[in-house]
Amino acid sequence: MAEVKRFDNRLGLWGWLGGGRWGIERYAYILHRLTGLGILAYFLMHIVVTSLRAKGIYLWAGEDAILAKPIFKVGEFLVFAAFAYHAFNGLRLVFVEMGFAVGKPIEPIYPYKTSLGVQRPLFIAMMILAAIFFFAGGAEFLGLVK
Amino acid sequence: MNETKYWTWFMAAGVVILVLLGLHMMIMHLGAFTHLFVVDKGVEATAVVNSQSRDANLFFTITYVLLLGTALFHGLYGLRTILFELTLKKSMEKALSVLFIVLGLGLFCLGTWAAFTAHANALKAPAPQAAVSEGR
Amino acid sequence: MSGSHQTAHDVVFHVRRYTPERDKAPYIQSFTVPVHPGMTVLEGLHYIKENLDQTLAMRYSCRMGICGSCGMLLNGKPTLACNTQILDIADRELTVGPLPNFDILRDLVPDLMTMFQKHRALMPFVKRDDEEDVNDPAGEYYQSPEELEHYLQFSFCIRCGCCMAACPTLATDANYLGPMPLAQSHRWNQDTRDGARSERSSLAGGSHGAFRCHYAGECSRACPKGVDPARAIQHLKRQLVVDYLHLAKRKKPCEKQHGPGAFPKDPKIPEAPPFTLP
């Protein structure tokens, strides 16, 4: 076949953000990636910081500690929130990607019901659990519970 | 077929992390509700005295190492997945894989050494006085 | 004349045009189309081609949602132009573009060859070890209605490419197999007549296979035939993991054949009359 000139029409990173279409599972996927990256970035630093305790250095403990400053405390809470979301959404993904929550193949009759509708209750349940964790952590962060 | 293997363990690691990191979060960030594994309830769970009491407990040393290993695998494999979806050259993919393995093993060794050293130090140190700090 | 040809109002079509010999990048050209109720986007594009600009290039064929030719991006959603009524998705303005995640050959025509090549690489046909019997069959392979249900939904695929256009992974990873090839891989794996599941799994379970799917679900939303490729891919992942852990129940394709003498004859059925032709 003769070489035909063409234009590369891939959406690129804009495609990760929906490219114009928005579904809740797609938001969930984007947020899962963002929280994962955030937790990983924190975790790599966390390993180094907590390993210093073997030398008796506790950078986070006590009121004068570097890591007790408010900005770091807020950052820690964000990591906690990211974990709450990532963990429960991840649990949903384990069920879904093992074929448990997507339903059996059906005969498609219009208007089509997809597997997204079948796993939606699981999604909502997981988000409720994540919200409970989030608010509990928030209450402690704000000092509402001692 | 390798990808099936990595991904199966990636998923299993995720479930293990859910349990262990969930416990870690409940101790550290939900301590006001749970008061788990703290010897001095008057201070934060992350205070030195509480941290050292957990370090003295072999259960924590082992589970920290387990959590470290599974979380490093899960996190770095996840990052690798995200980066590989950017249509990289084969040489770049290889280089990234090597980098992640080196980084992962390096941090795992550091964390494991620290966990066992902290455990040994905590066993040598005098036992903390149980209970109350004043005025908190 | 019936009321169906009464013009409701004019809708402006913002069509993404691109001529490779002339343009560096696609651009938008707008056309005003008189729209009546029930008019599909494809009819609107025909109006443009017949009355406003004969150079508009697009693919279409059956105009009834079965051939899969007219997949386009309509107001940001990849779907079939013949299957979509203009007034269902637009009021005064409609953007029409070629399917994303494929190279554009011209105007609204995407290059779907990459999708077909990936599909072909996954052997989308019944493949068995008993070559002689496949080439010179003595009878039929038996498949129960329950066995058919395991893959029937996925066999309704018309290869339109809308799922591929909607997939977020394909937006950045050109080598990802994509929802259509993977769903079809699962369709053939689940077909009890087929025996090539482990052959397909090296590609389907490989570094650009099923595990690059993260269940964003856009493919199932976009599918105009209700094939639900997202469901197929999750089941495919399950099958791959189960095979890896050596827990699979069915390892061989079905063996039963219908043919003369294959089953004992029911005595209530009378004998066939003799042949009347030599």
Q: Residue C77 forms beta bridges with which residues?
A: C74
| Residue-level pLDDT at B42 | 74
Question: Do C101 and C118 share a structural domain?
Answer: no
Residue C159 placed within a domain: yes
Instruction: Give the residue from C243, C225, C223, C246 showing the smallest Cα distance to C235.
Output: C243
Residue A36 has a pLDDT of 97
Q: How far is B119 from chain A (nearest CA, A)?
A: 8
Is residue A4 domain-resident?
no
User: Among partner residues A39, A56, A61, which is closest to B46 by beta-carbon distance?
Assistant: A61
Q: What is the mean pLDDT of residues B77-102?
A: 95
Residue C10: other Cβ atoms inside 10 A: 12
Q: Which residues of chain A neighbour B76 with C-beta distances below 8 Å?
A: 40
Q: Which of B1, B2, B85 sits opposite C173 (nearest CB)?
A: B85
Give the B:C interface size as CB pairs under 8 Å: 42
Separation between Cα atoms, residue C174 and residue C30, nearest integer Å: 31
- Taking the C-alpha atoms of residue C93 and residue B84, their distance in angstroms, rounded to an integer, is 38
- Going by C-alpha positions, the residue among A98, B13, B81, B93 that lies closest to residue C212 is B81
Judgement on whether residues C200 and C78 belong to the same structural domain of the protein: no
Query: In which band, very low, low, confident or very high, does the pLDDT at B46 lie, cut at 50, 70 and 90?
Result: confident
Which residues are registered as beta bridge partners of A134?
A: none
Average pLDDT over residues B44-66: 87
DSSP state of C264: P
Task: Give residue ranges of C with CB < 8 Å to any B CB.
Answer: 169, 172-176, 201-202, 205-207, 209, 211-212, 237, 240-241, 243-245
DSSP string, chain A: ------B----THHHHTTTT---HHHHHHHHHHHHHHHHHHHHHHHHHHHHGGGGT--TTSSTT-GGGSHHHHHHHHHHHHHHHHHHHHHHHHHHHHTTSSS-------SSP--HHHHHHHHHHHHHHHHHHHHHHHHHHHTTS--
Name the A residues in 73-102 with CB < 8 Å from any C CB: 93, 96-99, 102
Q: Domain with C75 in it: what CATH number?
A: 3.10.20.30
pLDDT over threshold 70, residue B130: no
How many Å separate Cα A81 from the centre of its chain? Answer: 9
Domain end marker among C110, C138, C164: C110
Q: Summarize the confidence of residues A73-102 as an average pLDDT.
A: 94
Q: Which of A8, A9, A35 is most worth mutating to test chain C (most C CB atoms within 10 A of its CB)?
A: A9
* Alpha carbon distances (Å) from C141 to B4, B119, C196, C257, C258: 31, 66, 16, 5, 7
Domain membership of residue A130 (yes or no) is: yes
**C171:A12 CB<8 A:** yes
Query: Measured between CB atoms, which of B47, B51, B68 is closest to A53?
Result: B51
Q: How confident is the model at residue C261, as a pLDDT?
A: 66
Q: Residue B53: pLDDT above 70?
A: yes
The reply to whether A7 falls in a domain is no
Residues 6+ apart with CB under 8 A from A66: A59, A60, A72
Kindly state whether residue A33 falls inside one of the protein's structural domains.
yes
Cα distance between the two ends of chain A: 74
- Domain for residue A6, yes or no? no
Contact flag A7-C217 (C-beta cutoff 8 Å):
no
Examine residue A105 and state whether it is found in any structural domain, yes or no. Answer: yes
Could you give the ipTM of this predicted complex? 0.87
CATH number of the domain residue A135 falls in: 1.20.1300.10
Q: Which amino acid is at B85?
A: E
Chain-chain contact of A40 with B68 (C-beta, under 8 angstroms): no
CATH number of the domain that residue C122 is part of: 1.10.1060.10
CA C151 to chain centre: 14
A93-145 tens-digit pLDDT: 999 999 998 999 999 998 999 999 999 999 999 999 999 999 999 988 888 87
User: Looking at the domain assignment, is residue C278 inside a domain?
Assistant: no
Q: What is the DSSP letter of C249?
A: S
Distances in whole angstroms, Cα of residue C170 to Cα of each of A16, C93, C118: 9, 28, 13
The residue written with tokens 């416990």 in the block is B23
Unique residue bearing structure tokens 């089509």: A112
C266 domain residue, yes or no: no
Of C92, C110, C128, the last residue of a domain is C110
Residue A58 domain-assigned (yes or no): yes
* Residue at C142 is within a domain: yes
* A56 vs C258, residue with greater confidence: A56
Q: Which domain holds residue A27?
A: 20-141
Tell me the chain A residues in contact with residue C65 when contact means C-beta distances shorter than 8 Å.
none
Is B112 within a domain?
A: yes
Which of C46, C76, C110 represents a domain boundary (last residue)? C110
Q: What is the pLDDT of residues B57-83, one digit of tens each?
A: 899 999 999 999 999 999 999 999 999
pLDDT tens digits, residue range C57-116? Answer: 999 999 999 999 999 999 989 999 999 999 999 989 999 999 999 999 999 999 999 999
Write out chain A residues lying below 8 Å of B14, CB-based.
90, 94
Chains with 3+ CB–CB pairs under 8 A to C are A, B
Chain A residues with CB-CB distance to B114 below 8 A: 50-54
CB A118 within 8 A of CB C235: no
Is B136 within a domain? no
Give residue-wise pLDDT tens across range C14-23: 999 999 999 9
- Are C164 and C175 in the same domain? yes
Q: pLDDT band at residue B38, thresholds of 50, 70 and 90? A: confident
Task: Please provide the average confidence, as pLDDT, over all residues in chain A.
Answer: 88
CB interface of B with A, residues 38-57, below 8 Å: 46-48, 51, 55
Q: Closest to A54 (Cβ–Cβ): which among B72, B75, B121?
A: B121
Residue C83 lies in a domain: yes
User: Phi first, then psi: what are they for B129, rounded to 5°?
Assistant: -70, 130
Residues C64, C179 within the same domain? no
Structural domain boundaries enclosing B44: 2-124
CA distances from A49 to A10, A56, A65, B98, B106 (A): 42, 11, 12, 24, 15
Our CA-based measurement puts residue A110 at a distance from the nearest CA of chain C, in whole angstroms, of 8
Q: Residue B131 falls within a domain, yes or no?
A: no
> How would you class A76 by CB atoms within 10 Å of its CB: exposed for 0-12, middle for 13-18, buried for 19 or more?
buried
CATH at B33? 1.20.1300
Question: In this structure, are strands C27-35 and C104-106 parallel, antiparallel, or unpaired?
Answer: unpaired
- Domain span at C99: 3-110
- Whether C71 and C134 map to the same domain: the answer is no
Q: Is residue A11 part of a domain?
A: no
pLDDT in tens, chain C (278 residues): 444 556 678 999 999 999 999 999 999 999 999 999 999 999 999 999 999 999 999 999 999 999 999 999 999 899 999 999 999 999 899 999 999 999 999 999 999 999 999 999 999 999 888 777 777 777 778 888 899 999 999 999 999 999 999 999 999 999 999 999 999 999 999 999 999 999 999 999 999 999 999 999 999 999 999 999 999 999 999 999 999 999 888 778 877 666 666 667 778 888 889 988 87
Per the structure block, which two tokens stand in for B53? Answer: 């009491």
Question: Is C117 in the same domain as C95?
Answer: no
Task: Judge whether B32 is closer than 8 Å to chain A, CB to CB.
Answer: yes
